[in-house]
Amino acid sequence: MHRPDDKSCDANSHDTTEATIYGIARFMSEMVMSLRTLRYLALSLMLAFPFIAQADEASRDVDLVCHAAENLALVRFLTSHDANPTYPRLPQALDLGLSASKGFGRTDCTLANGTKIRVRGGRQQALPYGVGGGNPPEFFSLWINKRKVISRKIWKPGYEESFKDLPIYDGVLITTNSITICASAEGKPQQCTSQPLDSIGKPIDRVEYAAHTGKATSGHISVTGKGAANQRFCEAYLGLVKPEFDNPHFGQQTPLDIGLETFTDQTEVANARTYSGLIELSPGVTQRLMVWDADNHYFDGTVIALTPPAMTMQEIVAAYPIHDIEDWHKRGVPRITLISGGQKQLYPDLSPRYVHLVPQRINGALYIFAYPANEEKHPTAVLIKPLAAGGFVTLCAFNRTEPHY
Q: Tens digit of pLDDT for each residue in 218-251?
A: 778 889 998 899 999 999 998 887 665 554 444 4
DSSP state of 60: H
Q: Which residues on neighbouring strands pair with residue 272, listed in sequence order?
A: 269
- Please indicate, yes or no, whether residues 15 and 61 belong to a single structural domain of this protein: no
Position with higher pLDDT, 166 vs 75: 75
pLDDT at 396 over 90: yes
Residue 209 is assigned to a structural domain of this protein: no
Position with higher pLDDT, 330 vs 28: 330
**The pairing of beta strand 221-224 with beta strand 265-269:** unpaired
The per-residue pLDDT for 57 is 56
- Please indicate, yes or no, whether residues 360 and 269 belong to a single structural domain of this protein: yes
How many Å apart are CA 370 and CA 51, to the nearest integer? 28
Of 196, 230, 245, the residue at which a domain comes to its end is 196
The total number of structural domains in the chain stands at 2
Residue 205 is assigned to a structural domain of this protein: no
Q: What is the pLDDT of residues 114-170, one digit of tens each?
A: 999 999 998 888 777 665 556 788 999 999 999 999 999 999 988 767 667 889 999
Of the ranges 9-18, 57-66, 163-172, 193-202, which one carries the lowest mean pLDDT score?
Answer: 9-18
Using CA atoms, how far residue 352 sits from 269, 277, 300, 339, in Å, is 17, 22, 9, 9
| Average pLDDT rounded to a whole number, residues 171-186 | 94
High-pLDDT (> 90) share of the chain, %: 49
- Please indicate, yes or no, whether residues 27 and 66 belong to a single structural domain of this protein: no
- Please indicate, yes or no, whether residues 175 and 251 belong to a single structural domain of this protein: no
- The per-residue DSSP string of 83-139 comes to SS--PPP--HHHHTTGGG-S-----EEE-TTS-EEEEEEEEPPP-SSSTTTTS--EE
Determine the structural domain holding residue 124 and report its residue range. 55-196
Where on the phi/psi map is residue 347: left (φ > 0), alpha (ψ -120 to 50), or beta? left
| Average pLDDT rounded to a whole number, residues 386-404 | 90
Where on the phi/psi map is residue 390: left (φ > 0), alpha (ψ -120 to 50), or beta? left
Q: How many CB atoms lie within 10 A of CB 391?
A: 13
- Please indicate, yes or no, whether residues 257 and 303 belong to a single structural domain of this protein: yes
- Please indicate, yes or no, whether residues 296 and 382 belong to a single structural domain of this protein: yes
pLDDT at 284 over 50: yes
Number of H helices, E strands in the chain: 7, 19
Three-point CA angle 320, 326, 332, nearest 5°: 50
**Coil, helix or strand for 38?**
helix
Across all residues in the chain, what is the average pLDDT?
80
Residue 207 is assigned to a structural domain of this protein: no
| Average pLDDT rounded to a whole number, residues 296-324 | 92
Residue 273 is assigned to a structural domain of this protein: yes
Q: What is the dihedral of CA 173, 174, 180, 181, to 10 degrees?
A: 50
Among candidate residues 251, 250, 274, 249, the one with its CA nearest the CA of residue 261: 274
